[in-house]
Amino acid sequence: MPEFSRARKQGGIAGGATQESMTNKGNNLSRFGFSFERGGAHTSRTMMIEELGTLLTYVDRPEAEKSDYLRAIDDENCLGKRSGKTRTLTYRHLVDLYSLDRTYLLFRVLLYFWNRDIKGRPLLALLCTYARDPIFRSTAQFILKFSEGATITRESLEDFIDCQEPGRFSKATLKSTAQNINSTWTKSGHLHGHIRKVRSLAYPTSGSVSYALLLGYLTGARGPALFRTEYSKLLDCTFDRAIELAEESSRKGWIVFKRAGDVIEVLFPNLINEEEMEWLREQG
């Protein structure tokens, strides 16, 4: 989880920062689409990448409003749900996971790369989910510590989740949440197997690397540090491979990547608008 969220959970002060400054940082990131609400869609659903893909194919317009996605799901039933209640819940979960709001940078850039990097879609969806679902986000440290080929049981994940906030979830909710989270990590490529989950390596692409770099940039990382953020760690990617993919993205015109020896600069002129750049300057 982000450093300031971890410090808040522990009830302490990280690096001399005040509780107020950490809260302000969270509020600032929320303007870009990050979410730090206590709940999370994974108590009842996975990252819903299939539904997201169907929805974005049906509403194939980058300029679409949030209301257009609601209309497609609720009125036009583009996802083929059986009841109005199910359609409404599906919309709410997708909003929790992705916002479906182009005024938020996270969703707007997700759309940008979703339409340009098809192979990167599983990691693109995971990165956005990670930035918006605190319950799922907290499990990254657990999953990523396992080496390729290691078996990860649902029970061990349940224990990990329960240790974060002991007694928060009932046994039934804890089980379903762990199943949903394992399913998301499977869809993203970090796990494989139906019943027995085994650690595998995700498949990073130029688009997913660029999205991870953007998320790190929004939280204040610059230069080589962009390739070592919690978002970049989700890619299962070596530093050198991430550099290669960033260079590829730069050649495509998606981002600007410059390197001279150990000096690295990554910019996002096509992705971050002037108002958002001003917010970043305010964050310092």
- Cα–Cα distance, 205 to 123 (Å, whole number): 9
Domain boundaries, the chain: 207-283
Residue 4's pLDDT is 33
The structure's pTM equals 0.91
- Residues 29-42 have pLDDT tens digits of 999 999 998 878 99
Average pLDDT (242-263) is 97
- Residues 172-224 have pLDDT tens digits of 999 999 999 999 999 999 999 988 999 999 999 999 999 999 999 999 999 99
Alpha helices in the chain (DSSP H): 3-10, 19-30, 49-58, 66-70, 84-98, 105-114, 121-132, 134-138, 140-144, 154-164, 171-187, 206-218, 230-233, 239-251, 274-283
Residue 40's pLDDT is 85
Residue 217's pLDDT is 98
Task: Say if domain 207-283 classifies as CATH 1.10.10.
Answer: yes
